[in-house]
Structure formats: structure tokens, C-alpha cells
Structure 1
């Protein structure tokens, strides 16, 4: 379905408001002290701030977009009649957030069926808001970002999030084929923040496997909005999400598929 430019701009303004409100709420709560509990592993955690920020976003979406569906990382789920879905990550990089690090954000994406319409990511520490999508040139605090400069994988910085238990199996082997071809590697702990860095030309390509929609879609929209590429490919029995400058994305996908 095609979204009119005026309607897309209105959705982008709402997305910007939502992530800014959620991020500022989380930042205030962290300053006051938050309790942390483990989800699936010691590095997969949730705080009271995640839950409160997601509830804030859900409440406003129910009010302002009552026909749209909602999918949230912390369990918010709501069916809709419009075919559109808001995908919420109230605090992306919760481990960093809970341990006093600054590489975390609030993120949201809007889809229409299988089509990604837009993403918005707010970094509270630097008060930076990025909004963009495939049909919406990405902006940083309202200013357009430059189009990405393409470069080969061998001149690119790769960012990822790969847990150590995967290093010694087929998944680790597949990732090793990628890592051996890049200029350098970073593992910073927030997928959406990593993709904001790619959209701003600070990093070149991201490669992760088994990425849920809330960790993938908001940042991918920003990268697409500056001429980048976003692909999903299967290798070593898992699905990989690869996002960044086009030549590096193509080379990563080829390396993953190689035996």
C-alpha cells in the first residue's frame, strides 16, 4: 500500500515524539535508580524503565492510531485493522543502560504489511533524534543526513552482537568468514544505535543473526533513508540481518553463504 507523503510525514512526527518521550522517561528513571531482572541470559535483561517507556508509547498509540497494530519488545501486543504495525523497542541496549553506559536508545518502526515505512531512534545521552525510511530521507535533529558513501568490505568497519556460546559452532564459522574480510570490528551492545552510526557514516555495516523486528527495523529504516542496503539471508541454520553500505552488505552476504 502506498502512503501519501503528508500521512507519512505525520507518522514520522508521531514516531519522533514517541521515542523522545520514551527515551527521556527512561533516562529520568535511570537517574533515580531502577531494578534489573534477567530474561533469557545474564546479558538479556529488562528494567522498570523498559516497561514504563513501552507502556507510555502504547498508551499514546492506542489513542492516536487506534486502527494500527502494536508489537513491543516487552510484551505489548495489539491487533489492528489497518494492516500497519508499530514496532517498539523502549530501551535498546538495556544491558548498557542498566550498567551506566551511554550506548542505548529508544526506537520505533512503522510497517505496512511487509513494507517498512519509517523508523525513529532517540539517543538520550546526546539528545540526538534520527528519523527516516525508504521513502523518507533520514534526518538528524531535523537536518538531512548525507547519502552514504559506498565502500568495499575490506575498507569497512563491521558492527555486530554475537554471544560467545556461538563462537565455536557453525554460526561462529559463518561469522568468522565475514570478520576475516573486514578492516575492523566493533561490538557495542545496541543494534539500533549501531545502525544510527551507519546512517551517519561513522560505521559501514552491521551483521547479526536471529534479530527480532524491534532490533532490526527502526535502524534499518534510517540506513535505507540515506541510500544504504538492508538484506536478510540464511546461513548456518539461522537468519542473518545485514545492513549498511551496499557493497559491504553484498560482500557480507556472500561470505556468510560461502562454504
Structure 2
């Protein structure tokens, strides 16, 4: 997939992004209620693994993605669906829905209340609308390209604008780790190199929620390797529309690297990330 968050104006076609974000919200909220209502007490059984034995998937991941897929295609049958857990559906409309049914699956398995439904709509490869719903808490974030970011409180939208950042030495930085042992070891070395230069590091376990946390000021910056479009699209749009700078190692944010920080400190922070060896 190309750069989801290009600079400058983009033709988003005939479908208003507001229509897309409202559909995404309706489906994400239904999916979050579906998962919350079916999660058993205690630890959840693992159905399979993906990249490694620690990278898990549950039956509810699959059921939730199928629910999201069916609702989106019922409303917009000519669209494409790109999901983490199932087969992609190819459509011809130019609109692609990028879906993570449960972002933060390990948190979900253990009952740590930080896991989310993430749904974004991309138009010709550009993120146009996105919604992230924390399944455990009910918090909802939304954004449309060029239209800002917000949280929903009932049907009221409260704008989310990235707060002014502290100095680099006082920044709280979010990150995550690969489930592949060799990559994880390299990431640990990079985090160890960064730690003396910032206030502290947090590993919360759900990339979409991490990016919303940066937008909301709960984190000052973020860095992670290995994010796929379904990890990045909705939360990344919330972050950029809130005013955060988003970048990759030497180009667009993507699988190789995602960095996010306030534009006032992004150059300094991004330089530190590169120096630390991410």
C-alpha cells in the first residue's frame, strides 16, 4: 500500500468522507459491543498463531472481522475490504476499508483493558476516514482527512488537538515490539539506547490506541516497527488530523518504521529515533 498520509490536497472522489466515518463508527461500535459481550471471564483461549508462537489470534478476532466485513459490504458492496484475519475482498469503487477487528489481541487474551476495533476507509490509497473504539472502555476516536480529529461523547464530537509538547528529555514515549525474536532483540537494544534521553517508555500493546493516545496527549511521542496498514490507518489518521507529524525511517510511515511526535519537536525526536537504531 502507498503512503496513507500524503502531504497536500488529495482528491477523495465523490463520496464525502463524513459518510465513510459515520459508517465506520456504526460498524466499529457494533463490533466492539459484539466482542465485549462475548469475552469470557479470565484468560481467553488462543485459536492460532501468526508470525510466531507469541503472536496470537482468537476465534473472536475472526468472528468480529466477519461481522465488520458483512456490515461494510452490505452498505457498500463495491468497496474493497483489507482485514488482518481474513481473506481480502476486492472491489472496484476505489474505496478500501482497512480493518483490525481486535487491535491488541494479547491484551484481549489476558484481560488488560487496552484493545480496540480499528476501521479506516482509504480512497485510492489515501486514508480518508478512521474510527478507533476501545472495546474495554468504550472510548471512541474519529477523524476525516482535512476535517480534524475528535472523540465522541454520545453523539457529541469533542475536538482532539495535539497539545504543546514538553522538551525531549521530558517526553513520555510509546512503543511496541515485534513477535519475531530476532527483531524483538534489536528493538530492545534501540529502546535501551533511547531511555536515557526521554522521561520514560510505555509499551501499552495496541498500536491504534497508542496513536490515539499521542493525539490526545496521553503520550508525547511514539515509535514502532512492523505496523501493517490495519494497525496504522485509523489511528494514524487520528494522530495526523490532531496535528501530529507522522513519518517512517526514510519516507512514509509503514512496516519498516512509524514515528509520531508534535511538529515542534518532531525533527529532534525523529533524529533521536534514528540514532538509537530503530
For 1:121, which of 132, 135, 150 is the aligned residue?
A: 132
The CA deviation at 1:153 is: 2.6
Alpha-carbon contact 1:230-1:241 (below 8 Å) kept: yes
The CA deviation at 1:149 is: 1.9
Residues 248 and 19 of structure 1: is their aligned pair in 2 closer, same or farther, counting only changes over 3 Å?
farther
3-state secondary structure, aligned to 2:97: strand
Q: Determine the structure 2 residue equivalent to 1:30.
A: 39
Aligned residues: 256
TM-score normalised per structure 2:
0.83
C-alpha distance in 2, partners of 1:256/1:54?
Answer: 34
**Cα shift readout 1:70-93 (whole Å, capped 9, x = no counterpart):** 100002301121222110000011
For 2:164, which of 141, 150, 162 is the aligned residue?
A: 150
The CA deviation at 1:5 is: 9.5
Residues 113 and 3 of structure 1: is their aligned pair in 2 closer, same or farther, counting only changes over 3 Å?
closer
C-alpha distance in 1, partners of 2:184/2:84?
Answer: 26
Q: Determine the structure 2 residue equivalent to 1:246.
A: 263
**Structure with more of its chain in strand, by fraction:** 1
Q: Determine the structure 2 residue equivalent to 1:83.
A: 94
Residues 196 and 126 of structure 1: is their aligned pair in 2 closer, same or farther, counting only changes over 3 Å?
same
Q: Determine the structure 2 residue equivalent to 1:102.
A: 113
Residues 3 and 28 of structure 1: is their aligned pair in 2 closer, same or farther, counting only changes over 3 Å?
same
| Unmatched 5+ stretches in structure 2 | 1-9
**Cα shift readout 1:52-107 (whole Å, capped 9, x = no counterpart):** 11001111121212222110000230112122211000001111101111111111
TM-score normalised per structure 1:
0.89
* CA-based RMSD: 2.4
Residues 146 and 73 of structure 1: is their aligned pair in 2 closer, same or farther, counting only changes over 3 Å?
closer
- 1:1-259 correspondence to structure 2 within 5 Å: 1-3=10-12, 7-31=16-40, 35-37=45-47, 38-141=49-152, 142-151=156-165, 152-163=167-178, 165-166=182-183, 168-169=185-186, 171-234=187-250, 239-258=256-275
Residues 180 and 165 of structure 1: is their aligned pair in 2 closer, same or farther, counting only changes over 3 Å?
farther
Residues 167 and 11 of structure 1: is their aligned pair in 2 closer, same or farther, counting only changes over 3 Å?
closer
Residues 179 and 112 of structure 1: is their aligned pair in 2 closer, same or farther, counting only changes over 3 Å?
farther
3-state secondary structure, aligned to 1:27: helix
| Unmatched 5+ stretches in structure 1 | none
C-alpha distance in 2, partners of 1:165/1:180?
Answer: 23
